[in-house]
Amino acid sequence: MLNLNYSTILKVSIPLMASTFIQSIVLITDSSFLSRYDTLAFDSAGNAGLIYMTFIMAIKGFGDSAHILIAKNIGKNNEKKISSIFWSTIILNLITSILLIAIVFFTIPDIINSYIKSQEIANGQISYLKIRSYGLLFITISIVINSYLMAIGKTSILLITSFIIAISNILLDYLLIFGNNLIPQMGIEGAAIASTISEGIGALFIILILSLNKKQKSHKLFKKIKYDLNTFKESIKIGFPISMQGIIGLSTWTIFFIWIEQIGEYELTISQTIRSIYFLAFIPIFGFAATTKTYVGQYYGKGSIKEIIISIKRILFLSLLFLLIFFHGSILYPDKLISIINPNKLYINDTIDILIFMSGSILIYCISSVFFQTINGVGKTKVTFYIEIISVLIYIISAYILIKIIKADIFWIWSVEYIYFASMGILSYIYLIKMKWKTQNI
């Protein structure tokens, strides 16, 4: 059982933040290299990346269910079930990833061609996704192992894995995007190949490390592949709503960027730059979100509601503190951040205005995320699914009005982020205050 002191919370969350930081560096490196290679490649990879991330959410939902269920069973001192949860989730994720790869090859090209204004951007997205889709098989394995390690509080391994992925990706990105005397320039396809190979390297490394881990030996993860129908049902019951949350949330963001692309390539390039910088803010937000699920899951399994409330308050404080550390540049030196992603002076001034304006919405998201993940941590994933649906509906209606009806400037279009994050936070807080989750079991 994890301790409630600040040092233990940081011991769990810092490797997760470092892992997210390294992943963010990978995304920023991709964006930085591609913007210097070609603006169309930069825009294409940005939108295709959102589609790819949407597919990852389908897999991650079942990974999150494993995280919640393993943490809960640790809290109940019922660790015999952990192996069954682990393997059931891997099987579910493998089936899901194979279906998603089939969708990429047989359905996605027609869908992309039906709505993209620029044929060059459409072709770039399709090429990128066909290569990147193979990475889903590697991510399937990595996500389940990550969930297991987060649930038992052994997060330092994730940091090492992320570092290996980042170094591999950066080196391969430079080599394959720009080429050299032996390798031709591959542009956007080179970026996709680099990321896919890096994910494969990361998956192989984390499998090797887990096989040597003493804790997994006590849980008998590799002694025998265990799964049963009841565990499948429980994993689907908790994981499916989380998958749908991620799919709906990122699909909506994808639609948002599609509508911006239909306005013009200038507005799309600015927006893709903002999206890339967003990932700096996600470092503490995602790290403490995962920490919230671990703490809430373990103490809810134990039935210790008082400790859950203490952990939420402390995680909130730390999350806001670390957000200021990682994202203060959006206010103090936005031009330098933007130049790292896209040095083209044509876009910098308008991007600065939006980035400063958006900083407040990130603060709201930081708070909202802890409340939202508290509900997930107790296993009430249907509730968070409904919260996500309502928030997304408000978001997409607002975006449609601003983009399609009012035809607002790109600066005001980005104000919809405030609406989405605030809706999520308010609804989550109302549930935690008003509903009887404290006296219910998963």
Handedness of CA 380, 97, 169, 268 (dihedral sign): negative
What does the pLDDT average to over 365-377? 92
pLDDT for residue 201: 94
Residue 293 carries which side chain, given as an amino acid letter?
K
135 is a domain residue: yes
Local confidence band at 441 (pLDDT 50, 70, 90 cut-offs)? low
| % of the chain with per-residue pLDDT over 90 | 36
341 is a domain residue: yes
356 is a domain residue: yes
1 is a domain residue: no
pLDDT score of 171 more than 70 = yes
Local confidence band at 440 (pLDDT 50, 70, 90 cut-offs)? low
Local confidence band at 419 (pLDDT 50, 70, 90 cut-offs)? very high
What does the pLDDT average to over 186-200? 92
Mean pLDDT of the chain: 87
Local confidence band at 442 (pLDDT 50, 70, 90 cut-offs)? very low
Higher pLDDT, 388 or 181: 388
Its domain, for residue 273, covers 6-439
399 is a domain residue: yes
What does the pLDDT average to over 157-183? 87
pLDDT for residue 410: 94
Residue 52 in contact with residue 129, Cβ under 8 Å?
yes
Higher pLDDT, 88 or 219: 88
366 is a domain residue: yes
pLDDT score of 170 more than 70 = yes
Can you list the alpha helix ranges (DSSP code H) found in 107-155?
Answer: 108-115, 119-132, 135-151
Local confidence band at 404 (pLDDT 50, 70, 90 cut-offs)? very high
421: Cβ contacts below 8 Å, ≥ 6 apart: 361, 362, 364, 365, 368
Residue 1 carries which side chain, given as an amino acid letter?
M
> How many domains, in total, are found in the chain?
1
C-alpha to C-alpha distance for 220 and 239, rounded to whole angstroms: 23
What does the pLDDT average to over 433-442? 64
Nearest to 238 by CA among 309, 306, 147, 303: 147
- The predicted-structure confidence for 9-56, as pLDDT tens digits, reads as follows 888 888 777 766 766 677 777 778 888 888 888 888 888 888 888 888
324 is a domain residue: yes
- The predicted-structure confidence for 325-351, as pLDDT tens digits, reads as follows 989 989 999 999 898 888 888 888 889
pLDDT score of 160 more than 70 = yes
Among the residue ranges 32-36, 372-376, 438-442, the one predicted with the least confidence is 438-442
What does the pLDDT average to over 245-273? 88
Higher pLDDT, 155 or 266: 266
What does the pLDDT average to over 407-428? 95
- The predicted-structure confidence for 103-152, as pLDDT tens digits, reads as follows 999 999 999 998 888 888 899 999 999 999 999 999 988 989 988 888 88
Residue 129 CA: distances (Å) to CA of 132, 192, 250, 319: 5, 8, 16, 33
Percentage helix, strand, coil for the chain under 3-state DSSP, each rounded to 5: 85, 0, 15
Local confidence band at 386 (pLDDT 50, 70, 90 cut-offs)? very high
49 is a domain residue: yes
